[in-house]
Each structure stands twice: as structure tokens, then as C-alpha cells.
Amino acid sequence: MKQLAIGILGLTLTLGGARAAESVSVPATQGGSATGTARRLLPDDADKAWSMVEAEGKPPAPPAEWKGRQPTSDEVKAFRQLKATGSGIGADKAREFQERFKDHPKAAEAKRLYRELLEVAVSLGNEGKVSELQALGPDPAKAQEEVAAAAVGAKLQDAVAQSRKLQSQGMEAVLGEFEKRLMVLEKEFPERGEIYAAYLEIAQLRGGEKSKELLAKILKSDKVPSQIRAMAEGIQKTQERIGKPLNIAFTATDGRKVDLAQMKGKVVLIDFWATWCGPCVAEVPNVVAAYERLHPKGFEIVGISFDEEADALKAFTAKHKMSWAQYFDGEGWKNKFGSEFGIRGIPAMWLVDKKGNLRDLEARSDLASKVEKLLIEP
């Protein structure tokens, strides 16, 4: 039986001073010291100034030349220093904005961003910003959030523990009890996103109409954090594919042409996985065993690899006798089919029936028996 994997639900939801002078100083080093030639960093137009501040709150993308290869330790160190410097400068701009444009609608957001960028800068080694961050003192909002998170977390853990007492009655009993307890907690903590994360996990574990019902409940609420909403939308979109053909066609790593539309008459496992994924690797013996036993009867596998190194993928599949076709484009989580089908976690195993229609989104559980049942269908 599946275990109810809700630690705090496998998800960490991040929900996200000293008065400065009218002008701030250009950082002397690492965007961090308060010395140097004093001048304003932002234009006089408040909206343009806010655009600059907002842009500073977005972390720089890794260098393009890193794509498809592992950066050296010196490159990583240099990139961290760049981010530390940039975050320090961004903090200076945010501080300037909140001081110069006190009546602007974004002044409070600038104040929040100021502290946040200081914290990032210091965490990345910008020593010039340490004293400035310390001068702000504890963050009251963060302290309040930690207390609230601890309260709801403790009650969620208790709900999980109480629900697990019904394990002898089966998974449906456990999930049903947990859902009942969540409904009570939802009334007690109507603003907390963790409640909806728990509903989402139940939806993923239950499947069927109950899953659809819970997803609709999540998407209807205006209290759902953006991360949870995006995941719920992805799952809902995937569920809508059940009973419909999948459009998958590519040239495999070994040169084979793969087209799911041409594989009718066979039961096909679509295996979204990666060599760096521990749970994926743990499933390999089960998948290989099912393939070796059922391939002669019409079972095929199509691998969709989330790897970024082709040589590592080829070496692994050869070593473990994974002789089926593998899709690889080196894009990792952004690979073509993973993005198209909204895959947010691996391993993900889907089964396609002999008519070419998607039938099962949870093939990882009892794979061989599910394949055998589909094989005997007309």
C-alpha cells in the first residue's frame, strides 16, 4: 500500500530598518559598504524608479555558456560573488525608493524587498552588508509567519498521525479521514496555503472523480499560493488527457524513430525519469523485469529522460539493460515532453493502451499487473 507521504506534505511554501539618508552611497565593494561617492541611484520618475527596483529583485540567470555542462568551482564562486554584489546594489536601490517615494503604492513592497535583498547578499558572502542587515533587527513579519506556520504545521502532522491509524482499513480510509480533518483545519486556518497543499496531495494519491473534485476546490479558492495553483492546474490538464491519444514522436538516442501513433496494438509505458533521480533508479529493476517478461506479448516502453548529459544517460541504460528507446534533448526539467505534459515530479509513469489512448497516470504502482490487464483487452 502506498504510504501517505505528507511530512509537511513534501512541500515548503515560502510566503513570502535603520533610517537611511535622502541619498544613498554607491557601494565601494560588493555593493556593500556605505562609503564612496554619495549619489542617487534612481531617476526622479517614481514609476521608472520602481521598475528598476523590481528588476533588481530578480536573480540573474546562470551564464549561457553553462548550458549542457557542469560549471567549474571557480565559475560558481564568481557567479555567487556577482549575485552577492548585485543583491547588495539592489538593496541600496530599494532603500532609496522607500525613502524618496514614501507615498508611492509600492513603497511598502520596496521596504520588504530591501530586507530580502540584504538577506540574500549576506547569505552569498557580501560582508559589506552584514552590519546594515543587523541594524534592521528581527523581521516582525517573518517571526509572525514562523509562529503561524508552526501552528498549522503541528496540527497537520497530528491530522496525518490520526489518519494513519486507519491504515489497516486501506488507503481510501486513510485519505478519507485526512480529508475530513483538513476540512476542520481549513475553517480554523482559512488563510494558510499549507491546507491546500494537503488537499493537492490527497488529489494526487486518490485519482478518479475524487481527485477532480479536490482540484476544482483548490482552483476555486483565492487563498491558494501560486505554486500550489500551478501544480493543480498542471494535474487537472493531465487528467483531461485520460482516454485520449498522446502525440509523442522523436528520434531516440540510438537513432531509432519513435512515433506513438504507429505503436497501436501494443501497450506502451511512457516513463518520465532521469539517471540522477534516486526514486527513478530504484524503479529500474522493476521496469526491466516487466519489460523482459511482457515485451514478447506486446509491451513497449518509451523513456523520456530529464538528464542533461547524453553520455551519462547512454552509459546508464547500457549498464542496466534498458534496451528501449530514450528521448533526450539535454534540457533537464525544461525538456520538450516534460514541459508539454506538465510533469512536475519524477518518476512519472503513464500507460497507453493498444488503441493508443492514455489509460493510467500511476503505472508505477503494480506496473506488471496493469500491463497484463491492458494486454488482454481487444
Domains in the chain: boundaries: 46-136, 147-239, 249-375
| CA–CA distance, 341 with 230 (Å, rounded to integer) | 13
Burial 305-329 (b: 16+ CB within 10 A, else e): bbbbbeeebbebbeeeebebbbbbb
pLDDT tens digits for range 171-180:
889 999 999 9
**Cell numbers that stand for 293 in this block:** 517478461
Q: pTM of the prediction?
A: 0.53
Q: What does CATH list as the number for 249-375? A: 3.40.30.10
State the CB neighbour count (10 A cutoff) for residue 132. 23
What is the structure's pLDDT at 57? 75
What is the structure's pLDDT at 315? 94
What is the structure's pLDDT at 343? 85
What is the structure's pLDDT at 236? 84
Phi, psi of 245 (to 5 degrees): -70, 150
What is the structure's pLDDT at 69? 67
Comparing 44 with 147, which gets the higher pLDDT?
A: 44
pLDDT tens digits for range 338-372:
888 888 788 999 999 999 999 988 888 889 999 99
What is the structure's pLDDT at 19? 28
| CA–CA distance, 370 with 372 (Å, rounded to integer) | 5
Q: Which of 196, 203, 206 is nearest to 226 (CA)?
A: 196
pLDDT tens digits for range 84-106:
898 999 999 999 999 999 999 99
- Asked if the model's pLDDT at residue 162 lies above 90, the reply is yes
| CA–CA distance, 174 with 162 (Å, rounded to integer) | 9
- Asked if the model's pLDDT at residue 29 lies above 50, the reply is no
pLDDT tens digits for range 118-138:
988 898 889 998 999 889 888
Percent of the chain exceeding pLDDT 90 equals 44
| CA–CA distance, 148 with 144 (Å, rounded to integer) | 6
> What are the beta bridge partners of residue 301?
269
Mean pLDDT of 180-192: 90
CA atoms within 13 A on the CB side of 169: 10
Q: Which of 63-67, 72-76, 87-91, 313-317 has the lowest mean pLDDT?
A: 63-67
